[in-house]
Amino acid sequence: MSLPSYPILSCDEARRFEQQLFGGDETKEWPAMQRAGCAVANAVVCDFEELGGFPSLGRVLVLAGKGHNGGDALLAARAILTRFPEARADVLLVFGERALRPLALQSYQALVHAAPGRVQVVKDRKGSLAAPGYDLCLDGIFGFQFRPPVPARIAALLATVNALPVRLRAAVDLPSGVGGNAVFAADFTYATGCVKTPLLEERNAGRVRYLDLDFFKGTETAAERVLTREVLAPLAGLRAPYSDKRTYGHLFLIGGSRCYPGAVLMSVLAALRSGVGLVTAFVPESLVPAYAARAPEAMWVGWPETPEGGLALEGQHLLRDRWQRATALAIGPGLGREAETLALVTEIAKSSQMPLLLDADALQAGTVTAGSAPRILTPHAGEFTRIAGGIELPEFAAKTGATVVLKGPVTRISGAGKGGSKTRPTVYHSFFGGPVLARGGSGDLLAGLIGGLLAQTPEDPLLAAARGVVWHGLAADLLARAHGQTAVQTTQWLDSLPAVLRDPSA
């Protein structure tokens, strides 16, 4: 199957695409702008849940330029003020009201009409942006047609706004000034209609949210694409009535050591939530009693240990005796870097006939290409440098034939997929998740989740990887909205997984 996703376009490609879509016809552009404004407003309100929710008496600052981005920001403010009847907005028309293009002017008038007495025009001068600051700043000064440099007056304005106390800074489509000498510092950028390539490298964009406005037909090709939550849709449906545990695969998971005892347990707990039918975990024998008490649903096999507490080479027979039972194998969480254990991993990878996932310390240059079984690799940036040796993600995926999940603030996936070739594969971007995942153990949970999904679709590692990454990120978003980003434990994420599937709007 092709992954549910949409193309990421350069600014020039986006300009040509919109010209083909609208042809400059304002009767077509106005409904799209209204959809964009409502979509930005809804996304802002959702993301505000990470701060405890948008306040009923919230103060909004709107930075509106001349064109469509300014119009989108104004329409988003209208939707927010309509939803929160005691909220207020300060509007800074950066180039003045007379400079507003027709649809931006129409958007401004719609905002004023929707919230009489609650909209105030402020000027671009010292002291006009009042203390104590704002709950929300909506940036719509420049769009993707902006060409640097940023004029000195606007650069000074951006510096002033970036220094203001604002709880959440939101850019519409692109942060104003991207590529120039001054940039709006966004906490979130809401990419309306399509994601533009400058967002992939711009740190001032903050967290990117893709807002689908039904611009694409689903047949467009692109080297870079953004994943959507629709990749999870089959998991949310009814299962076959005459199925049993073997229908949904059997994951073998190998990991753990006395030095890192928690990682493999977290991976097993995540695998058990993936929908897989069976999980067998091979761990150091001294850890089995505690693990079995914590997760009795898994089958725990004690593995002989090295003197330091890692997995010993002599335990390979435990795996060979059970090979035929598994549909996928995951190796790595909590292994440690003992030479004997790493040699064991290489031997297993060479002999495996089933799809496998390699994570954490199992990701070694000599291991990732050992054997011929299909594989998923799940490195973070440091591990990727270790195994790729300077090769870029798609080239490394093509060279190794692996599906590679490069974890980071934006996780990227590249791989040939089912029936694919080793030509330069597509790179899929997941913009779900956020800083709540920046804590120990989140990668172990992802490895277990993807491993369980791989056991269910062993013929398509790319699909398993994409589903795992999207599900992982969406559950993290729900966790942050329920409890904030700071005072949570990594394993609380597990309890957000069911809601992602049961509530498509979550």
Q: In angstroms, rounded to a whole number, what is the distance separating the alpha carbons of residues 373 and 356?
A: 7
Q: In angstroms, rounded to a whole number, what is the distance separating the alpha carbons of residues 282 and 302?
A: 6
pLDDT in 10s for each residue of the chain, 506 residues = 479 999 999 999 999 999 999 999 999 999 999 999 999 999 999 999 999 999 999 999 999 999 999 999 999 999 999 999 999 999 999 999 999 999 999 999 999 999 999 999 998 776 678 667 899 999 999 999 999 999 999 999 999 999 999 999 999 999 999 999 999 999 999 999 999 999 999 999 999 999 999 999 877 889 999 999 999 999 999 999 999 999 999 999 999 999 999 999 999 999 999 999 999 999 999 999 999 999 999 999 999 999 999 999 999 999 999 999 999 999 999 999 999 999 999 999 999 989 999 999 999 999 999 999 999 999 999 999 999 999 999 999 999 999 999 999 999 999 976 644 457 899 999 999 999 999 999 999 999 999 999 999 999 999 999 999 999 999 999 999 999 999 999 999 999 999 999 987 77
| Local structure of 5: helix, strand or coil | strand
How many C-beta atoms surround the C-beta of residue 84 within 10 A?
Answer: 18
For residue 444, the model assigns a pLDDT of 98
CB 275 within 8 A of CB 338: no
Q: In angstroms, rounded to a whole number, what is the distance separating the alpha carbons of residues 81 and 117?
A: 11
For residue 419, the model assigns a pLDDT of 46
Calculate the alpha carbon distances from 160 to 164, 243, 266 in Å. Answer: 6, 62, 45
Q: In angstroms, rounded to a whole number, what is the distance separating the alpha carbons of residues 174 and 73?
A: 12
CB 173 within 8 A of CB 72: yes
CB 275 within 8 A of CB 456: yes
The single-letter DSSP state of residue 62 is: E
For residue 420, the model assigns a pLDDT of 45
For 283, the enclosing helix (H) or strand (E) is strand 278-284
Encoded tokens for 231: 């990749």
Give burial (CB, 10 Å; 0-12/13-18/19+) of 85: exposed
Strand partners, 61: 90, 137
Q: List the domains of the chain with CATH numbers.
A: 5-222 (3.40.50.10260), 246-361+434-498 (3.40.1190.20)
Q: In angstroms, rounded to a whole number, what is the distance separating the alpha carbons of residues 359 and 369?
A: 13
Phi, psi of 478 (to 5 degrees): -65, -40
3-class DSSP string for 19-48: HHHHCCCHHHHHHHHHHHHHHHHHHHHHHH
Q: In angstroms, rounded to a whole number, what is the distance separating the alpha carbons of residues 67 and 422?
A: 44
User: Token match 């993301």: residue?
Assistant: 47
Encoded tokens for 111: 């905002």
3-class DSSP string for 367-384: CCCCCCCCEEEECCHHHH
For residue 130, the model assigns a pLDDT of 67
